[in-house]
Chain A
Amino acid sequence: MKKRLLLMNAFSLILLSGCSDDGKVTDSDLALLKTTHPPAVLIDKNTKENLDLVQNIEHDVEKMKELYDVAVVKSNGDTLVAYKVKHLQRFHMKKIEKNMTKMLEEKYPDENFIVSSDYKIFIEAVELQEKMKNPDFTDKKAKKKLDKIIKLKNEMT
């Protein structure tokens, strides 16, 4: 049943998008459909401790059994945690978000977390992580992009 749903979504997306411009399909294009498991990334301050920190955050969040995919992006100011909730657990979306925020803030009191279950935020986060693999993509640009995502997240209606 799950597979059929996935197929149906994929089909409608293909219908809607037609052929993508360069023909190259990246993870962010498919982030809605499949589990991507993106690695946690850091913008600025590429220190060992910071890298450990984001990886720990990602592990901690992934431990929650209601989720199936997590993307973490950390800059010096904010840490963005985007995640996808298992379909039937979507009824408890608010509770999951509350629990996660509580857990993260207790464990990492020094960090400022932005937590979102929105698909769009997830797609954007994965896209950002992909772009950062490119050495031409400067930290400044990355920071700007992250700020844009956070702004998008806070937009209501």
Chain B
Amino acid sequence: MSKKGNKTPEQQQYEKLEQKHELKRPVLKNCIRAFWVGGLICTVGQAITYFYIYFFNFTEQTAGNPTVATMIFISMLLTGFGVYDRLGQFAGAGSAVPVTGFGNAVISAAIEHRTEGFVLGVGGNMFKLAGSVILFGVFSAFVVALIKTLLIIWGVI
């Protein structure tokens, strides 16, 4: 019943009628908001990178790790204080795509399932949303690395 092709004429007719009343996502507005908020988050990240380069013994290469950790820490605080979900509703992809969004996905699930205890609740559900990001992130990294290795062996690059 779910595939478009399997719909009865009655259902298709209703779909057309319903579409007329449906509120559309304001795509352009969402894009602009995502651009600004995402950019702002990245500017903060850049500032933190410079902070680590200036005041600690980190190079541009190595400052990435502490920067990511700091950003996730900030997003953890914002999630805990209930600010990040409002930011997410405003910014959409702007706050979901940077690493803070990943942190938010992990932390919100952990907070949510705290009532089911630490082992079955927090432990079992923490990666409910982020788990697929980790799985497919690692898998696609593996595939890309494999292709690159083969290309190097064959002398293409």
Interface, chain A (partner B; CB < 8 A):
8-9, 12-13, 15-17, 32, 118-121, 123, 152-153, 155-157
Q: Residue B55 at the A interface, CB < 8 A?
A: yes
Tell me if A13 and B59 are in contact (CB < 8 A): no
Tell me if A118 and B61 are in contact (CB < 8 A): yes
Q: Inside 8 A of A153's CB, which chain B residues have their CB?
A: 59
Instruction: Name 25 A/B residue pairs within 8 A (Cβ), A-sorted.
Output: A8-B43, A9-B50, A12-B46, A12-B47, A13-B51, A15-B47, A16-B50, A16-B51, A16-B54, A17-B51, A17-B54, A32-B54, A118-B59, A119-B59, A120-B60, A120-B63, A123-B53, A123-B54, A152-B57, A153-B59, A155-B59, A155-B62, A156-B62, A157-B62, A157-B65
Q: How large is the interface on B (under 10, 10 to 19, 20 to 34, 35 or more residues)?
A: 10 to 19
Which of A12, A153, A156, A157 is packed against the most chain B CB atoms within 10 Å? A12
CB of A12, distance to nearest CB on chain B (Å): 4
Partner of A13, one of B54, B61, B62, B64: B54
Q: Residue B35 at the A interface, CB < 8 A?
A: no
Tell me if B47 and A120 are in contact (CB < 8 A): no
Tell me if B62 and A32 are in contact (CB < 8 A): no
CB of B74, distance to nearest CB on chain A (Å): 14
CA distance A9 to B48 in the complex (A): 11
Q: Inside 8 A of B64's CB, which chain A residues have their CB?
A: 157
Q: Nearest 5 CB-CB pairs, A to B? A: A12-B47, A120-B59, A16-B51, A118-B59, A118-B60
Which of B58, B60, B61 is packed against the most chain A CB atoms within 10 Å? B61
Residue of A nearest to B47 (CB): A12
Interface of B is mostly: helix
Tell me if A119 and B43 are in contact (CB < 8 A): no
CB of A102, distance to nearest CB on chain B (Å): 18
CB of B71, distance to nearest CB on chain A (Å): 14
Q: Inside 8 A of A8's CB, which chain B residues have their CB?
A: 43
B16-71: which have CB < 8 Å to A? 43, 46-48, 50-51, 53-55, 57-65
Tell me if A152 and B59 are in contact (CB < 8 A): yes
Tell me if A119 and B60 are in contact (CB < 8 A): yes
Given the contacts A118-B59, A155-B62, A13 and B50 also touching, CB distance less than 8 Å: yes
CA distance A12 to B58 in the complex (A): 18
Residue of A nearest to B63 (CB): A120
CB of B63, distance to nearest CB on chain A (Å): 8
Q: Inside 8 A of B63's CB, which chain A residues have their CB?
A: 120
CB of A96, distance to nearest CB on chain B (Å): 15
CB of B68, distance to nearest CB on chain A (Å): 12
Tell me if B59 and A121 are in contact (CB < 8 A): yes
Q: Inside 8 A of B65's CB, which chain A residues have their CB?
A: 157
Q: Inside 8 A of A15's CB, which chain B residues have their CB?
A: 47
Q: Inside 8 A of A156's CB, which chain B residues have their CB?
A: 61-62
Residue of A nearest to B49 (CB): A119
Residue of B nearest to A116 (CB): B59
Tell me if B43 and A12 are in contact (CB < 8 A): yes
